[in-house]
Structures are given as structure tokens and as C-alpha cells.
Structure 1
Amino acid sequence: MFEGKKNKPVSWQDEVYKAANKIRELVMEHTIKNKGGYISQACSSAEIFATLYLRIMNLEKLDKPLIPGRFQGTPGQGKDRISGSIYNGAKGPFYDRFILSPTHYSLVLYAALIAAGRMDPDGLLEFNKDGSVVEMIGAEHSPGMEVMTGSLGQGISQGAGIALARKLKGETGRVVLFMSDGECQSGQFWEAVQAASFHKLDNMLFYVDVNGYQCDGKMEDVMNIEPFDKRLESFGARVFRVDGHDVEALSALGNLKPDGRPTFILCDTDATRGIDILKKRGSKMHYVRFVSEDEREEYRLAFEKIKSSDAL
């Protein structure tokens, strides 16, 4: 806790909520400017990302926010190769490793890196430009990422492989994954959960954004996976279910003592949190693409109103 304006104490909770609001603000502002973007993902996951970066993950501190370079080829042994993991610091044996599984959340991750002071705000100006590493669908060279998770459901398999290797090497750092509920419909996801449980990968920590939506509509209409927590438990995982916008609940479960099982934190969230105008889209809110300048202006006015009231 430190002193804020007018000597008013500012708690860590205040700082995390402030970062979450910054994430939503950056994503919505970017979406309006670029005529499209993943707003609902920021609405539902902002507190999760903010809590991960400011309270949960053990990452190396950076001297200053990094400015994205230009694409120089996929990561490798050569010194010219860029790896997005540099935004999370060194890969020491006691540091956590972060994996973004649903790469359509990349814009949200970039905003989180800015809010956490790990990426320079100007880095977002490189988003989706030719030759830029700040890609719309992030890859292993994109800020905050060290692997290309490809099709949904593949991130957990790569994470499990890294976690097993860390176990065999005696490293104490964890593998922390952010996942979305939609990708958990895939068979590969459940195979990976089974494998992680069998190999007792208790160095794996999952935060799952359970916002109830996917690109084709509501989860319950496309392929219902509830009761999600009970299904995971039947595969041998340790599972907790919390309000995904409650930073105290999110933080409290971030450093539990390992018990031989991979740990899943299921975060029930609101896909329109802080940005009510999204509710007009019904179940089709996976990606916001404005159909006219009038609609874009409607969102701009809503954004200005939200900013002025500090309601994000």
C-alpha cells in the first residue's frame, strides 16, 4: 500500500482494478480507431490479466517498458531472433513461464503488458502492420508470447510439455496458462488435462475465462461443457471456481501449495463488463467490426461517456 492523491492510501486491489480499467480502455480505444477489435475479450478478462501480471506471476522485473522491434524470423539460436517472452523477463529456473493459449486475446495481452509497465504504449501503434511482431493473432515473436499456440486447445499441450521438462530439470518456476472456455470444447484439451494429471504436473496453473461466449454464439448453444468444474475434477485436476472480476479471489488462489495436481481457476466473467453498448450485439460479440461510420461514432461517444465517468 502506498500514498495516492491527497495522501489517500492506495491498496494493491485499487492498483489492480486500475490496471484492468486501463486494459479495457486501451482495447476499446484501439478498436474504435482501427474499425474493429476484440472488445468483449477485454471486458471479461481484464481483471484476470491485471491480477496475473501484478499479483500472481513471478516474473523478472524489467528496467523499463520495452519497445517492439521488427520481425526478424521465428525464434531460434541466432542472436537476431526475437522471442516475445522477453516482455516477461528472463527464463530463470525459479521464474514462472506464461502461455497465452487463445491467441485472439493477443490485443488484450498487449494492453496488459502496457498496463503492467512491460511494453511501451507506442508499441500498440505497430499492431497488425507489415513486418511488425505486434500481430493481431500473436505468435512466438509477439510481445508476451514464447510459443505459437495455433488452433485453440493446443496451448495446454505445449504448456504441459514445458511443465514436464521443468519438473525433470528440477526447476521450481511454474507454467501459467491463460485459457478461454470455448477452446475447452476440443478433444485435445481433455487429453492434455488427463496427461497433466497423470504426470502430476502440479507446477501448472490455469486461469480460464468462462464468459459463456465463442465465435458462433453462446457456449451452451454451440457445445455445452458444464458442469465444467466437475468434469475437470473427474480428470484428476484441482479446481476452484470464482468471480473472474474479483481480484482478491483471483489473487488468493494464485500461490497455493502444490498438491500433485494441475490447478484450474475457473473465472466466471461478464463479456460486456464496463462496456454496456456491447449488449446490443446479442450473442454475436466475438469480434466487433463496425458496419458503418454511424455505428463507429456510436461506440466512440459511448467510450467518451464511459471515460468521463471512470466506469470502465
Structure 2
Amino acid sequence: MPALNSKTTEEIALGIRRRVFLHTMRHNGGYLSQACSAAESLAILYNEFLNLGAPTLPGIPLPFRGVPSATNPDAFTGAGYHGPFAPDYDRFIISPAHYALVIYSALIEIGRMDENALDHFNKDGSSVEMIGAEHSPGMEVTTGSLAQGLSMAAGIAWARARRTEPGKVWVYMSDGEFQEGQTWETLAAISHHGIDNLRIVVDVNRQQCDGAMSSVLDLGDLPARVESFGVPVRSIDGHDLDAFRKAVASAESGKSLMILANTSPFQGMDFLKRRFPRLHYVRFKSRDERAEMLKAIAGELGLDPVEIERNAAHG
């Protein structure tokens, strides 16, 4: 379908970082490092790779209407922001639910959600949850603990293949999910069943909630481990858009593809290096620390810290 915006992928990536940063400043906390690492991959997925229909949900997200069931006709899933389910369209499964703020920002940047949608973030009764669930914008399923998204995506892809639907299934993951056994079981199943309509993009930022991945459970040679399960891998610089394009174009006929996007958890916000390795969720320890971070990162992102504070005061 035609693009819902006229921005370049680079502009969308910068817009995602800016939006998450401004939200974090306004609410004294947020998932900043995920915006640093994931901005390019989400921007290029939404703006160039995913074949999605027009949104079926309103620009201002609906309040939560209960979980989907045969007796709840009012329930919905956040997949409506990816358009209708149709054989020709792709499906996009988002596994790391804590990336929700980054996902919402991406949906706004590409024109699939209203500019003011984040006004409903993490409020009682809202579907715009801090940790995304199946009703949250962009989310089709509740992934609960990490590592459930890949298995759900693989199941959907397998079913679509059996129905001979031309649309692909894309899934977005974080590298922390490779510390979970379910991921490896799913890779074995993908290979065994010959699932070839699945595209997997992994944000390899080497961070998780307890700190650096290497200090919690080191993954070793991740590309080699994945390939040993029979799934082709492309390991790229996750901030290099041309590398993404080449990786996607290199998909082999009859096989799924995993793109390991090696990223930095402080890309575009070098000031966050001071927080390493505690980068999972950024809170401010004092008013002075917030002011220092505001001035430093606003400058990196091309924003005016004085204007940010003025808007926050009147917001």
C-alpha cells in the first residue's frame, strides 16, 4: 500500500529517538536504551519492508475493552494498527513487550497513530500500556515472558504456508530472548517444518534487565549457534540501513531468514554511557542529574532543552 507518510527512513529513526527521549524527560523515566538500539530497525521495517494495509483502529487508541473471546465482541488487538488480516498482507509480531514505548513512537512517526496518542500512555483503563499486551498498539499477541513471540510467529507462518497465503510473517525480537530455551526449540521447529515465509529481526544490543548480557549469560557466537539449528543468518550493523536492505534482499528461496542487528544501547545518546551497564530502564536519581541529561542528550538529538522544559511545564 502507499506510504502513510513522506518521511525518509532516517527521519523516522531520529523521530523515534526524539519522541522516546521527550516522553522520558516528561515522565522522569523511560526505555531510552531501546530507542537508541531499535530506531533504525523499526524505522526501516515499517517504512520499507512490511507490506501492511491501512490501520483499522483509530488514531487515538481505544480504551481497554477486555480480552478477546467468543463472548466479548468489543475486544480488539493492537494489530489493527498494522491493518487488516488478509492473505496478501504481512503480519508483524513484536516479542519484547517492554519495547512498547518505542513501538508506539514508531507508529506515530509513520502516521499509523495520532500525534497525541502517547497522552494515554500507562493510564488506568488505557490500551497504551507501558509493557505491551495484545490490545496495545502494534501488539497482536501478549508475549508475557520473553521468547514467546518467535514461537507464536512461527506458528502463524506455518499456518499461512499451509493456506498458501502469499503474505510473510515478520517477528521482532531482542537478544535477551536467546537466554530462553523456548527460542531454541522454535528454531529447531522452523528448520524441521521447512517454514520459509518467516523473517526474524533481532535487536542485538547486548543488554538485558540485569545488566550486560555477557555478565548474566553470555551467548557466545550467536550467528553460528543459530545457523547450527538450520536457520540462515545475516549479522549486520543494525544502524546501517543499506546493510539491512542487502540482508533482506539476500533471503534464500525455501528458507526463513534471521537478521541479527548488532546495535548500541546509546546510539544517538552517548551520554547514556555513564549509566552502563544499568541501561534497561532509565530513571533519574536527582533533579540535577535529570537537568544534566536533558542538556546533553537534547543537544545530541538536535533539540532545544529550554523549549523542552517550557513545554513540560505547560503540559
TM-score of the superposition, structure 2-length normalised?
A: 0.90
Q: Give structure 2 stretches of 5+ with no counterpart.
A: 305-315
Shift of the 156–288 alpha-carbon distance from structure 1 to 2, 3 Å rule, reads same
Question: Does 2:102 align with 1:108?
Answer: yes
Question: Does 2:297 align with 1:303?
Answer: yes
Equivalent residue, structure 2, for 1:49? 42
What SS does structure 2 have at the residue aligned with 1:254? helix
Runs of 4+, deviation exceeding 4 Å: 62-65, 255-258
1:297 shift after superposition: 1.6
C-alpha distance in 2, partners of 1:63/1:199?
A: 33
1:61 shift after superposition: 3.1
What is the identity percentage for the equivalent residue pairs of Structure 1 and Structure 2? 48
Shift of the 178–164 alpha-carbon distance from structure 1 to 2, 3 Å rule, reads same
Q: Which of 279, 289, 292 is 2:283 aligned to?
A: 289
Q: Is the CA contact 1:32–1:299 (under 8 Å) kept in the aligned structure 2?
A: no
Equivalent residue, structure 2, for 1:23? 16
Q: Is the CA contact 2:104–2:138 (under 8 Å) kept in the aligned structure 1?
A: yes
Q: Is the CA contact 1:99–1:159 (under 8 Å) kept in the aligned structure 2?
A: yes
C-alpha distance in 1, partners of 2:55/2:208?
A: 35
Equivalent residue, structure 1, for 2:116? 122
C-alpha distance in 2, partners of 1:80/1:175?
A: 26
Q: Which amino acid letter does the alignment assign opposite residue 15 of structure 2? A: K
Equivalent residue, structure 2, for 1:179? 173
Q: Is the CA contact 2:59–2:113 (under 8 Å) kept in the aligned structure 1?
A: yes
C-alpha distance in 2, partners of 1:94/1:209?
A: 27
Shift of the 64–82 alpha-carbon distance from structure 1 to 2, 3 Å rule, reads closer
Question: Does 2:189 align with 1:195?
Answer: yes
C-alpha distance in 2, partners of 1:175/1:83?
A: 17
What SS does structure 2 have at the residue aligned with 1:267? strand
Provide Cα deviations, 1:148-203, integer angstroms capped at 9, x if missing partner: 01101111111111111111111111110110011111111100110111111111
Q: Which amino acid letter does the alignment assign opposite residue 291 of structure 2? A: E
TM-score of the superposition, structure 1-length normalised?
A: 0.91
What SS does structure 2 have at the residue aligned with 1:270? coil
1:138 shift after superposition: 0.4
Shift of the 135–14 alpha-carbon distance from structure 1 to 2, 3 Å rule, reads closer
C-alpha distance in 2, partners of 1:257/1:139?
A: 30
What SS does structure 2 have at the residue aligned with 1:206? strand
Question: Does 2:28 align with 1:35?
Answer: yes
Q: CA RMSD in A?
A: 2.0
1:309 shift after superposition: 6.7
Equivalent residue, structure 2, for 1:5? none
Q: Which amino acid letter does the alignment assign opposite residue 274 of structure 2? A: K
Q: Which amino acid letter does the alignment assign opposite residue 216 of structure 2? A: V
Question: Does 2:148 align with 1:168?
Answer: no
C-alpha distance in 1, partners of 2:76/2:303?
A: 40
Question: Does 2:68 align with 1:75?
Answer: yes
Equivalent residue, structure 2, for 1:94? 88
Q: 290-299 vs 150-159, which deviates more? A: 290-299
Q: Which amino acid letter does the alignment assign opposite residue 139 of structure 1? A: A
Shift of the 160–55 alpha-carbon distance from structure 1 to 2, 3 Å rule, reads same
Question: Does 2:242 align with 1:248?
Answer: yes
Q: Is the CA contact 1:203–1:258 (under 8 Å) kept in the aligned structure 2?
A: no
Q: Give structure 1 stretches of 5+ with no counterpart.
A: 1-11
Q: Which amino acid letter does the alignment assign opposite residue 93 of structure 2? A: I
C-alpha distance in 1, partners of 2:25/2:258?
A: 34
Q: Is the CA contact 2:55–2:80 (under 8 Å) kept in the aligned structure 1?
A: no
1:147 shift after superposition: 0.3
C-alpha distance in 2, partners of 1:127/1:45?
A: 20
Q: Size of the alignment, in residue pairs?
A: 299
Q: Which of 255, 268, 281 is 2:262 aligned to?
A: 268
